[in-house]
Structure 1
Amino acid sequence: MQVSFIVPLFNCLPLTQAMLASLQATLPPGLAHEIILVDDGSTDGTRAWLASLPPGQFRILLNEENLGFAGANNRAAALAAGELLVLLNNDLVLLPGWLEPMLAAHRQLGPRAGAIGNIQRDARSGAVDHVGLVVNLTGKPEHDRTPPCFLERSFAPVRPMPAVTGACLLIARQLWTELGGFDPGYRNGGEDVDLCFRARAAGRVNAVALRSVVRHHISASPGRKLRDEENSYRLARRWRAELAAAADAGCRTWSRDYLAAQLYAPCAAEYRLALAALAFLAHLRGPPAEAVAAVAAGLEGEFTRWAKLVPPASIPA
């Protein structure tokens, strides 16, 4: 099975060079693969460096205009030959053994496999930055930074998640094509969550391979934060019900906060709710209705805020 590694580039040449060196050093022996580099209008010498590379080492695509993260990945994926696509940011540091667990997770899930992610640590501090994406108390996606325990990594190394980041993502090319790739209406943010939610809607399971670890120079990609509000609004308008339904993390935050408040000011009339929150946190039952309502209220508050910041007509559903 051939794997197509897709690496969008936009400036940050030293990080690109280090990332590609780490990729080539960690490829499993005998893996059939291709590495597609798509430069998205770099101005820092990246193009001159690409022109100096030996022919045949990489497939190189040059965008005449900046297409953004979604557009650059879409262009490369449309030309990829591999049965599996692995999307990689150019600011990653790939560690030995990072790829094999992702391939194993995809095989384990079989025809149910959606997007596969991994654990990402901050390249500078080493702190865990990503163990998948969850939905918080305001109904917005955020990184889960809870590291897995030894038992989970040993005996349940594939953790289903609502979504994973596109910084290091494995997906079958056929599924990518069926889903239509990334929505280019997102600009450097939100397109990965949208893709994962479309995979879920198609009956697929997104997951994190807990034995795969990479390092990430967080926020090194230029322009990453310029359109966060527009991206969030677009995602919420399209997936409002799904965000509320997937807000397990938000419900857990509410339940923990509620129990903490009860410890300081217990109220006998609220013992039922406290027990319900405790049972939910212990994975014995679903979230309390009050927690679900709190997430819905948080998401409603975000829509009120977005209505003042972003004209709805500028963000197609």
Structure 2
Amino acid sequence: MTIDVGVVVLAYGDEPWLTECVEAVLDSKDVEVDLVVVDNGCTPEHLAPLLGRDDLRVLAPGRNTGFAGGCNLGVGRTSGDVVVLVNSDCLVAPDTLSRIADEGARPDVGPVMASVRFADRPDVLNSAGNPVHVLGTCWAGDIEEREYRTEPFDVPSASGACLAIRRSLWDRLGGFDDSYFAYLEDTELSLRCWRLGLSARCVPTALALHHYEFSRNPTKMYLLERNRLLLVATLWSGRMLALLAPFLLGLEVALLLLASAQGWGREKVAGWRWMATHLRHVRRRRRLLQAERRVDDRTWTAVLTPALAPHVVGSTAAARPVNLVVGLYWRQVRRFL
């Protein structure tokens, strides 16, 4: 059975893989593709090959709407029972969209991601679902590992690099929160679904080859940290925030010291300033997300982890004592959720 899918690809800045990404999407099997490319400020030479084509539409908002806003705009201009988001530097296999759309069409499932692999090493994982820490940090799961699984499996957070979700569910959730702009909006979407009793999943046989380049710059760190605060402030219940308060406050102090040492201290402070000056939005968002929850905290927080991956902290030696203390504490306080 052919599934109708609305596919959104964002284009920003230099996009050397954009045309290949689009061609791969349009070559997908067993799906009827309605493709929208959102021009968030793509270089003209990389966008030009797509203009005037009758097998896709280019949407030009006239400004950089970010990943969250651009996806929302693009989805609103597509048709299909399933929404699919594909990064502009991802090349999907011919059966990838049908595999994740089939899984995502199940009524007990939320967002479904492809197995995101490194494009230059297709047998090595870039992400097989993203772990989410009890303090809100998120990272690429199983990165640099090989994939041996063949059946779909649950993940804490499905990566937006190549993701499918039922349109009815997307509409129910209202899509992404535009204020995230970029980073962690897919984490929020996944956790919201877990709180509704729907699982986030990964299909290991659905391949998305990612031309991934790791980057760390002050703007990215600002968005990651600000969005982590927004995620925790709106999704974590009052009881969770109270129980985790010592570690949440301790993390803020530690991150400010680290940020100052690494040259993005101003951006860390700017994240606090944004939260303080957007309290109306934070409160409104919190009321919405707290009211929609259908699963108790003790159940849905089982998808969170108290253990940071060594590469997130910097080394195994640094991660071990932190994980030991937070892990022991979390196991104790979860009884009170």
| TM-score (normalised: structure 1) | 0.72
Matched, 1:191 2:191: no
Residue in 2 that maps onto 1:20: 22
| TM-score (normalised: structure 2) | 0.68
Cα distance per residue 1:139-182 (max 9 Å; x no partner): 411121165764x42xxx12112211111110011110110100
Change (3 A) 1:148 1:160: farther
Cα distance per residue 1:105-145 (max 9 Å; x no partner): 224xx211200012111223443111111124754111211
Letter aligned with residue 32 of structure 1:
E
How far residue 219 of structure 1 moved from its aligned partner, in angstroms, is 4.1
Mapped partners of 1:168, 1:241: distance in 2: 29
How far residue 81 of structure 1 moved from its aligned partner, in angstroms, is 1.1
Letter aligned with residue 113 of structure 2:
G
Letter aligned with residue 231 of structure 2:
L
Mapped partners of 1:138, 1:59: distance in 2: 40
How far residue 82 of structure 1 moved from its aligned partner, in angstroms, is 0.7
Change (3 A) 1:74 1:137: closer
Mapped partners of 2:252, 2:237: distance in 1: 13
Matched, 1:302 2:251: yes
Residue in 2 that maps onto 1:273: none
Cα distance per residue 1:13-52 (max 9 Å; x no partner): 3210121122233x115x322111111122343444333x
In the alignment, structure 2 segments of 5+ residues that lack a partner are 257-267, 283-337
- SS at 2:13's partner residue? coil
1:65 aligned to 63, 66, 74, which one? 63
Query: Quick check: 1:234–1:315 contact (8 Å CA) kept in 2?
Result: no
- SS at 1:82's partner residue? coil
1:214 aligned to 208, 212, 215, which one? 208
Residue in 2 that maps onto 1:85: 83
Matched, 1:165 2:159: yes
- SS at 1:41's partner residue? strand
RMSD: 2.9
Query: Quick check: 1:139–1:298 contact (8 Å CA) kept in 2?
Result: no
The share of aligned pairs that are identical, in percent, is: 24
Mapped partners of 1:299, 1:125: distance in 2: 37
Letter aligned with residue 301 of structure 1:
G
Q: Which has the larger radius of gyration?
A: 1
Letter aligned with residue 302 of structure 1:
L
Residue in 1 that maps onto 2:264: none
Mapped partners of 2:93, 2:235: distance in 1: 34
Query: Quick check: 2:131–2:139 contact (8 Å CA) kept in 1?
Result: yes
Query: Quick check: 1:133–1:144 contact (8 Å CA) kept in 2?
Result: yes
Residue in 1 that maps onto 2:139: 142
- SS at 1:141's partner residue? coil
Query: Quick check: 1:13–1:45 contact (8 Å CA) kept in 2?
Result: no
- TM alignment of 1:47-58, pairs within 5 A: 47-51=47-51, 53-54=52-53, 56-58=54-56
2:93 aligned to 92, 95, 100, which one? 95
Mapped partners of 1:170, 1:231: distance in 2: 22
How far residue 230 of structure 1 moved from its aligned partner, in angstroms, is 1.2
Residue in 2 that maps onto 1:4: 6
How far residue 93 of structure 1 moved from its aligned partner, in angstroms, is 1.6
In the alignment, structure 1 segments of 5+ residues that lack a partner are 246-292
Change (3 A) 1:169 1:224: farther
